[in-house]
Amino acid sequence: MGRGGEGYGKEETINSKSNEECDLFPAWSKDVEECEKHYQVSRRSGIKPEDVERRRRIYGLNELEENEGPSIWRLVLDQFNDTLVRILLAAAIVSFVLAWYDGEEGVEKEITAFVEPLVIFLILIINAVVGVWQENNAEKALEALKEIQSEHATVIRDCKKIHKLPSKELVPGDIVELKVGDKVPADMRVVELISSTLRLEQGSLTGESEAVNKNNKVVSPDVDIQGKKCILFAGTTVVNGNCLCMVTQIGMETEIGKVHKQIHAASEFEEDTPLKKKLNEFGEVLTMIIGIICVLVWLINVKYFLEWEYVNGWPRNFRFSFEKCTYYFEIAVALAVAAIPEGLPAVITTCLALGTRIMAQKKALVRKLPSVETLGCTTVICSDKTGTLTTNQMAVSKLVAMGGTVDELRSFKVEGTTYNPYDGYIHDWNPGQLDANLQMIAKIAAVCNDAGIARSDHKFVAHGMPTEAALKVLVEKMGLPAGFSDASATTGDDILRCCRKWNEYEKRIATLEFDRDRKSMGVIVNSPSGKKSLLVKGAVENLLERSTNIQLIDGSVVPLDHKSRNVILQALHEMSTGALRCLGFAYKDELPDFETYDGSEDHPAHVLLLNPSNYASIESKLTFVGLAGLRDPPRVEVSQAIEECRAAGIRVMVITGDNKNTAEAVCREIGVFDLNEDISLRSLTGKEFMELHDKKSHLRQSGGLLFSRAEPRHKQEIVRFLKEDGEVVAMTGDGVNDAPALKLADIGIAMGIAGTEVAKEASDMVLEDDNFSTIVTAVTEGRSIYSNMKAFIRYMISSNIGEVASIFLTAALGIPEGLIPVQLLWVNLVTDGPPATALGFNPPDKDIMKKPPRRSNDSLISTWILLRYMVIGLYVGIATVGIFIIWYTHGSFLGIDLIRDGHTLVSYSQLADWGQCSSWGNFTVSSFTAGNQVFSFIDNPCDYFRGGKVKAMTLSLSVLVAIEMFNSLNALSEDGSLLTMPPWVNPWLLVAMSFSFSLHFVILYVPFLAKVFGIVPLSFNEWLLVLAIAFPVILIDEVLKLVGRFTSQSQTFQGKSSKTKLE
């Protein structure tokens, strides 16, 4: 004693950090002396100062590593690793170069030319900022993990006790003293209990629903983390007792350090959401299409900027026009701008943000926007049991009292699932008619109890042990016996009125604390008559062993014989099999040593209470009175939610750290398993699952599955196997141990009430009420949002197809450019935005949760839908180019006069050959008016096809806007006619259409904006022409929808016929 590590110096065990034996030393399976020898320390003296420095050089500091995430520049560059973004970036750079070149033509042209590249650059910057902000949040889970570490520790070194030593300075082998309330600073082996009992709250790390008893006894080397009863884990909290421990692992080698590594590893492998994958695929296809069309545009128009003569059969005398080459290059840029739905990211973000608000109202707080969409295709929900499927509030569900004879018991079913005394009642109960036996049970449950219950935020919260709080709720439901004086308890705020009266009636003067050996707690009370009694509660088997009598219904006491003992044990077995935790009640009236005891420390009997080894003898010759069965009850609404999951094709898997029997009983009750179903192949412990040869086959079973006693690595493996099989996995969790799996899952769902900050930061969504049914509600909302997102994606893509068709037709026909990039940007970003966003408010289908979940690889746009929108797009192209040609070549159309403005008509051949205008003889053009402006071409008649096309461009743009507004009505339903789903089913869409038209009027009739966008005001007649040409898009899509419905019904009928023939 006092030699510290000197006595162990001959055998150098701790020599380097790479020493495998040291790293893997199973301290939990070695006795204290072996641990002392291995770590070269004595529990009495601790480590020598020079030894501390040597160990610190080997093991480093006791702190979690700082994982350097990607630099801010790396994150910024990553935002451009997207096909659509790269196309936009290229288009912006080219536009900027061309704008710089065109700037020589004058200031007015320069302003217009620079709007387009600046807007594109602004879009890219906003996109990058949002992306960097989201990815930066990923590291917060690791920061939250550090916050749960202890900052200081009481350590014995060189025979001296050091208080408040910084925890980061601990080294393996340090002797640490812990007491109630301390946070464990490292993984440690218990070497000595100072108190009679030691209990720790480690549920956040292991998933256990209650505080666990710890001791210094050896356990098996291959035991799971919950079974390491002699090991205290870093970050857990001492709730009862004090002890001496030996540090075995520090920093990243602790269990919490392993979680840190797993979170970091999981964050490295985060995948894109199903929608983002589809949009990336769409971007790649779009790149190819744009490339092909651009090449075609250049091939069609190469004759305009590159000419040559044939000499002896070979091309000679090449003439290249840089100006015309630049013009057609601008058309190619316009094509890229037209093909990309620039407004799509903003509309998707807006729709998802609105979805998060709706979900927040339903108690689901979404932390990451893409999660809203991913929820819609969830195929598997991996749920924790405690607090999610259950209330995480202990409640008595069965009370067993003694009957009129020794072999007779009375059983009462108790309703209620919370700590609210008014929640539920006792079946077959007569209030105020408590017989002597029930009075004794109520007295023991109320007085031999240290818990309390308080009202907080409209909820009832337990203070102290949950089981004791549940017993106090039982006492309130039992009520007071008839004639029991209650004059002082009339306030409505007195939640535990009955318990308070029992404690006033029976004054507690001493407490025999619970310990792990006798498994009971006792109190000595003083009744009004001055008589001392001992009231005891604890494990039923232990109380029966120390009982000699039983109390019957009338209060009479008879000997506890073999027959009555078996009757009680049989009742205990039935309750335990039903996953109830049972507590027995007993008392003792004969206390000769305490007859005159009043709680004074000077009394001779007080010495007996100072030594816990005396408690078992004091709690002997007891009279047994009854027992209660407690459980963490399932939430009332969970069964219905699981039934909804089954109807929706979503499998539910329960993964819990709790024991197998309890978990199975809960799963049967809530409908994961049928009551009489053989679940031997569906219910495994985490360890049994990891030993399976074919784990994926086990996970592919239809119906529910249960994994009990699961460790963090088990949860991660289950999620990983499911994802490899193509499942979209939602994982719930509340503890530190759940964080890696939450990070790895497609949707990580943390608990808002019971969840640790680590779990919340690692999650995608937080349940405000910790309720499983809220997940199902969120999935329903996610499906609805995805359905609506498909509607506006189809709408925006169809609009872009129309723009591409318009530009391609312009290039193919050789006519002047009808739509410039800045106008296309305006349409894509602003005009299309409100209707697309409003489509997100489409009412959900009534059978949305009766359809199987969509697979993550399901096509965003089917072949038929693509064909439909190709037809619509072709009409958009014909309409926008057609009205441009009509203005130049027709004086009237559909009876509408178009030459009131005085513009000159030309032939179609002249329009198509406008580039050769300078070679035409005697070509003259009249002036025309547009609003308050007069356009004259006396000096340069050929400018009629460049500067003079402003009215025709305005008509093309207005037709494009009008068609897209009408097309948004087509997007209300994929196949449903507007006759069955009229526009007013979504009034927001009508508001959005009005708003978009208003914006278009603003840029038309505000002179400055009209100049920026290169357009002019339109007359009433011209607006009539715009609407007349735009409206047919509705009729065309109605015909296409009719064909689609007919084809779908035909396929369904053929499928049914084939099935009938097979049968």
Determine the Cα–Cα distance for residues 536 and 623; give it in Å rounded to an integer.
10
Determine the Cα–Cα distance for residues 117 and 709; give it in Å rounded to an integer.
59
CB atoms within 10 A of CB 48: 18
Decide if 253 contacts 63 (C-beta within 8 A). Answer: no
Cα 496–497–503 angle (5° rounding)?
Answer: 90
Helix, strand, coil in percent for the chain, rounding step 5 = 50, 15, 35
- Counted residue by residue, the chain has a size of 1063
Indicate if 384 belongs to the active site.
yes
Of 338, 477, 355, 361, the residue nearest 827 (C-alpha): 338
DSSP 663-696: HHHHHHHHTSS-TT---TTTEEEHHHHHT-S-HH
- The structure tokens listed for 537 are 């509660």
Determine the Cα–Cα distance for residues 641 and 773; give it in Å rounded to an integer.
5
Residue 311 buriedness (CB in 10 A; 0-12 / 13-18 / 19+): exposed
Which of the residues 384, 515, 632, 738 is marked catalytic? 384
The 3-class secondary structure across 379-442, one letter per residue, is CEEEECCCCCCECCCCEEEEEEEECCCCCCEEEEEECCCCCCCCCCCECCCCCCCCCHHHHHHH
Angle between helices 140-147 and 255-268 (to 10 degrees): 170
Determine the Cα–Cα distance for residues 724 and 1021; give it in Å rounded to an integer.
62
Cα 1009–1010–1012 angle (5° rounding)?
Answer: 60
Determine the Cα–Cα distance for residues 948 and 937; give it in Å rounded to an integer.
8
CB-facing half-sphere around the CA of 639: CA atoms within 13 A? 11
What does each C-alpha distance from 647 to 22, 698, 722 come to in angstroms?
Answer: 53, 22, 20
Coil, strand, or helix at residue 245? strand
Determine the Cα–Cα distance for residues 269 and 265; give it in Å rounded to an integer.
7
- Find where tokens 């990058």 sit: 128
Question: Do β-strands 651-655 and 896-897 pair in parallel, antiparallel, or remain unpaired?
Answer: unpaired
CB-facing half-sphere around the CA of 291: CA atoms within 13 A? 9
Cα 28–733–197 angle (5° rounding)?
Answer: 35
Determine the Cα–Cα distance for residues 916 and 74; give it in Å rounded to an integer.
51
Determine the Cα–Cα distance for residues 953 and 827; give it in Å rounded to an integer.
14
Coil, strand, or helix at residue 935? strand
Decide if 419 contacts 393 (C-beta within 8 A). Answer: yes
- Find where tokens 């969504």 sit: 765
Residues contacting residue 522 through CB under 8 Å, at least 6 positions apart: 448, 511, 512, 534, 535, 536, 615, 618, 619
Coil, strand, or helix at residue 630? strand
How far is C-alpha 425 from the geometric centre of its chain's CA atoms?
36
Number of H helices, E strands in the chain: 37, 34
Determine the Cα–Cα distance for residues 1008 and 1003; give it in Å rounded to an integer.
8
Could you give phi then psi for residue 756, rounded to 5 degrees? -80, 160
Q: Which residues are catalytic?
A: 384
